[in-house]
Amino acid sequence: MERSPTSSSCQHALLARSPVGHVSVCPECGVVHLSLDCLSLRLELTAFQALAQMLSQAKQRLDSRQTGGSHVRNSPGHALH
């Protein structure tokens, strides 16, 4: 029987854990599972890598604003939802 990317029989290998959630991967199907409190996402590896890159870029921008003395504002181009 072939496993689908969302198969409940996936064997998860833990990649990282923190107080906000955890990230695991199924070595057989290659799907990355991102679990945050009551939110769970299943992502193909390339989608997870793109998400990680986007979050890293956002963190760098937030960090540079904090060290520069400015704060993130809810203005055009800087909306927080």
The domain limits of the chain are: 13-67
Distance CA 14, CA 31 (A): 12
Residue 10 has what pLDDT? 83
Per-residue tokens: 40: 């769970």
pTM of the model: 0.69
DSSP letter for 5, please.
T
Residue 9 has what pLDDT? 78
* E strand map for the chain: 13-18, 21-25, 31-36, 39-44
pLDDT per position in the chain (81 positions), as tens?
344 455 567 889 999 999 999 999 999 999 999 999 999 999 999 999 999 999 999 999 999 998 875 555 554 555 554
Query: How many Cα atoms within 13 Å fall on the side-chain side of residue 54?
Result: 6
Q: Judge whether 20 and 36 are in contact, CB under 8 Å.
A: yes
Residue 3 has what pLDDT? 44
Distance CA 7, CA 52 (A): 23
Residue 67 has what pLDDT? 84
Phi and psi (nearest 5°) for 6? Answer: -115, 25
